[in-house]
């Protein structure tokens, strides 16, 4: 086809931006190629693995199966947006480090953005609920247990509750 | 980059209808969790798409003037599950669509897309059949309402005319009033799984909770399209809830269903679990309605 482009305005990590985008692009393509946000990983590219997960208006989406043009008018948050202005890690990122919830790191940004959506509900989920909420991500290294602990710990800490694993 | 020939973006229902007429070859894309994956696989590669995803007027659950529960076709699964009207009047639908894919898929996947795909395994399909949902389609000549059983024509094919898009799914008042239901999905794992079999049962009990006034049961993956089970329903209608009844009811589904052998499961296995699922789902539906299996 002859290339078809569209100007897409959106907010990326709190900043209002606009770019001409090929309509065939996925949101992963746009975030990586136009905004150089490489925490957004290209994994399966069919919505199964969660490596490309970002928050759109506060909800988690696999950006690989989301058209870039649909970002028009939306607020997008990627892992890069979690860092403080001084570059310090957020609580959930630090928990991933503390719990050794990372090996190769490929699934980590996606997992953390889903964790942000979960934590922002300010609810205390049961283990079963939490496992279901985290089930949209594949990790081939850690066996999930440390990831689960990192999210659970942060959830309890934010609620001011002591944790009993 | 997706291998698409062109993208036409509708900003309103009128826009979508005009684009449908102008581009008869184009495929409608709602949330895209099936269409884009099929495009990536090559099955829909090189095709034109009409995106209706940005039509916000098609989102949300409301009660219309006739007290039908009205679900906009682009309402996502997660929003259906969280919706207070759904929780109050048709909670089982929220529970059923909470078993689709993963949390991210439930944020993008829409009830309209789930039904327009015409696949028998859609987690919403058996519940929508069991609640006699009405599909609302809007075209250049106006609005058309089709009972869900007639909307599904055959596997992968639904009743949408070339100038139409699906705009809502309605659950009529007569269908949800005093009615309680339960859905069971049988899959090999809990997340990112397509149902081996799905069973949705709902009941309305008499005021003294001693009689099943109306029982409806529908399956997904028990045939090429989702289906009701009239023989089983006839057994339960007007009967008193009991363990014996649930056994008889469950055995009767065998006369109605027609599952096939596939790599997921054999016909014999599907028939076996269909009976057990009918029994469990009826028992739970009666309990939810305040009754007891004597």
Does some domain include residue A24? yes
Instruction: Specify which residues B49 forms β-bridges with.
Output: B7, B27
- The answer to whether residue A3 scores a pLDDT higher than 90 is no
d(CA B30, CA B167): 11
Please give the average per-residue pLDDT across A151-165, as a whole number.
92
Is the domain of A52 the same as that of A76? yes
User: Pick from B59, B116, B49: which is nearest to B82 by CA?
Assistant: B59
Averaged in consecutive runs of 10 residues, what is the pLDDT profile of chain B (294 residues)?
Answer: 97 98 98 97 96 98 97 98 98 98 98 97 97 98 98 97 98 98 96 96 98 98 97 98 98 97 96 98 98 92
d(CA B17, CA B135): 17
Residues in chain B closer than 8 A to A22 (CB atoms): 1
Does some domain include residue B31? yes
Give me the CATH number covering residue A102: 1.10.150.120
Question: What is the value of ipTM here, to two decimals?
Answer: 0.96
Give me the CATH number covering residue B200: 3.30.390.50
pLDDT given at position A143: 87
d(CA B263, CA B76): 30
Look at chain A and report how many structural domains it folds into: 2
Residue A82 touches partner B, C-beta closer than 8 Å? no
Q: Quick one: tokens of B279?
A: 């029994």
- Dihedral angle at the C-alpha atoms of B218, B222, B226, B232, nearest 10 degrees? -30
Does some domain include residue B293? no
Residues in chain B closer than 8 A to A24 (CB atoms): 1-4, 7
Sign of the CA dihedral with B11 first, then B15, B17, and B20 last: negative
Exposed, middle or buried, A86 (CB in 10 Å: 0-12/13-18/19+)?
A: exposed
What confidence tens digit (pLDDT) does each residue in A96-149 have? 999 999 999 999 999 999 999 999 999 999 999 999 999 999 999 988 999 999
Is the domain of B167 the same as that of B210? no
Residue A100 touches partner B, C-beta closer than 8 Å? no
d(CA B270, CA A66): 35
Residue ending a domain, choose from A54, A80, A106: A80
Is the domain of B74 the same as that of B159? yes
Look at chain B and report how many structural domains it folds into: 3
CB B1 within 8 A of CB A29: yes
Is the domain of B183 the same as that of B170? no
How far is the alpha carbon of B45 from chain A, nearest alpha carbon, in Å? 12
Is the domain of A36 the same as that of A99? no
d(CA A138, CA A69): 27
Residues in chain A closer than 8 A to B54 (CB atoms): 70, 72
How far is the alpha carbon of A88 from chain B, nearest alpha carbon, in Å? 27
Does some domain include residue B294? no
Does some domain include residue A149? yes
Give me the CATH number covering residue A19: 3.10.20.30
- The answer to whether residue A1 scores a pLDDT higher than 60 is no
Does some domain include residue B12? yes
Is the domain of B160 the same as that of B247? no
Can you give the residue range of the structural domain that contains A11?
5-80
Instruction: Say which of B41, B103, B192 has its CB closest to residue A133.
Output: B103
pLDDT given at position A165: 73
Alpha helix segments (H runs only) across chain A: 27-29, 91-98, 108-120, 127-133, 145-158
Residues in chain A closer than 8 A to B51 (CB atoms): 67, 69-70
Instruction: Please count the residue pairs, one from chain A and one from chain B, whose beta carbons lie less than 8 angstroms apart.
Output: 87
Residue A72 touches partner B, C-beta closer than 8 Å? yes
Does the distance separating the beta carbons of B32 and A62 come in below 8 Å? Answer: no
What confidence tens digit (pLDDT) does each residue in A36-86 have? 999 999 999 999 999 999 999 999 999 999 999 999 999 999 999 999 999
d(CA A22, CA A40): 18
What confidence tens digit (pLDDT) does each residue in A123-136 have? 999 999 999 999 99
DSSP string, chain B: ---EEEEEE-SSHHHHHHHHHH-TTPEEESS-TTHHHHHHHTTTTTEEEEE-TT-GGG--EEE-TT--EEEETT-BHHHHHH-HHHHHH-HHHHHHHTTSS-HHHHHH-BHHHHHHT--TT-TTHHHHHHTT-EEEEEETTEEEEEEHHHHEEETTEE---TT-EEEEEEE-HHHHTT-EEEEEEE-SSSSS---SEEEEEEEEE-TTS-SEEEEEEEEESSSSS-EE-HHHHHHHTTPPP-HHHHHHHHHHGGGT------SS--HHHHHHHHHHHHHHHHHHHHHHTT----
């Amino acid at each position: 086809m002859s290339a078809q482009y569209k100007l897409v305005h959106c907010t990326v990590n709190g900043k209002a931006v606009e770019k001409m985008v090929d309509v065939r692009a996925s949101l992963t393509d746009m975030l990586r190629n136009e905004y150089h946000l490489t925490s957004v990983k290209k994994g399966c590219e069919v919505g199964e693995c969660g490596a490309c997960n970002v928050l759109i208006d506060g909800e988690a989406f696999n950006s690989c199966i989301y058209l870039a043009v649909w970002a028009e008018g939306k607020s997008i948050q990627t892992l890069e947006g979690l860092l403080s202005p001084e570059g310090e890690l957020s609580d959930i990122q630090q928990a991933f480090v503390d719990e050794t919830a990372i090996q190769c790191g490929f699934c980590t940004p996606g997992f953390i953005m889903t964790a942000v959506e979960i934590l922002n509900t300010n609810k205390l989920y049961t283990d079963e609920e939490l496992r279901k909420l985290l089930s949209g991500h594949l990790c081939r290294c850690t066996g999930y247990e440390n990831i689960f602990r990192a999210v659970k710990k942060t959830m309890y800490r934010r609620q001011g509750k002591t944790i009993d694993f | 980059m997706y291998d698409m020939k062109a993208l036409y973006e509708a900003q309103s229902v009128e826009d979508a209808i005009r684009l449908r007429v102008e581009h008869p070859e184009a495929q409608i894309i709602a949330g895209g969790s099936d269409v884009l994956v099929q495009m990536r696989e090559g099955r829909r590669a090189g095709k034109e798409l009409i995106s209706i995803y940005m039509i916000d007027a098609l989102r949300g659950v409301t009660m219309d003037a006739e007290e039908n529960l009205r679900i906009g076709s682009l309402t996502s699964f997660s929003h259906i599950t969280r919706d207070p009207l759904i929780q109050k009047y048709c909670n089982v639908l929220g529970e059923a669509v909470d078993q689709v894919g993963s949390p991210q898929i439930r944020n993008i996947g829409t009830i309209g897309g789930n039904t327009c795909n015409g696949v028998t395994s859609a987690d919403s399909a058996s519940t929508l059949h069991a609640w006699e949902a009405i599909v609302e389609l809007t075209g250049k000549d106006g609005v058309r309402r089709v009972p869900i059983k007639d909307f599904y024509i055959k596997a992968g094919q639904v009743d949408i005319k070339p100038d139409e898009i699906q705009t809502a799914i309605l659950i009529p008042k007569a269908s949800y009033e005093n009615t309680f239901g339960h859905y069971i999905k049988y899959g090999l794992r809990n997340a990112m799984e397509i149902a081996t079999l799905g069973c949705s049962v709902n009941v309305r009990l008499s005021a003294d909770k001693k009689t099943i006034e109306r029982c409806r049961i529908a399956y997904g993956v028990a045939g090429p399209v989702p289906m009701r089970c009239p023989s089983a329903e006839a057994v339960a209608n007007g009967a008193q809830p009991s363990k014996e009844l649930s056994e008889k009811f469950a055995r009767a589904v065998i006369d109605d269903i027609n599952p096939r052998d596939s790599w997921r499961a054999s016909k014999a296995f599907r028939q076996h679990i269909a009976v057990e699922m009918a029994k469990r789902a009826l028992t739970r539906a009666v309990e939810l309605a305040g009754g007891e299996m004597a």
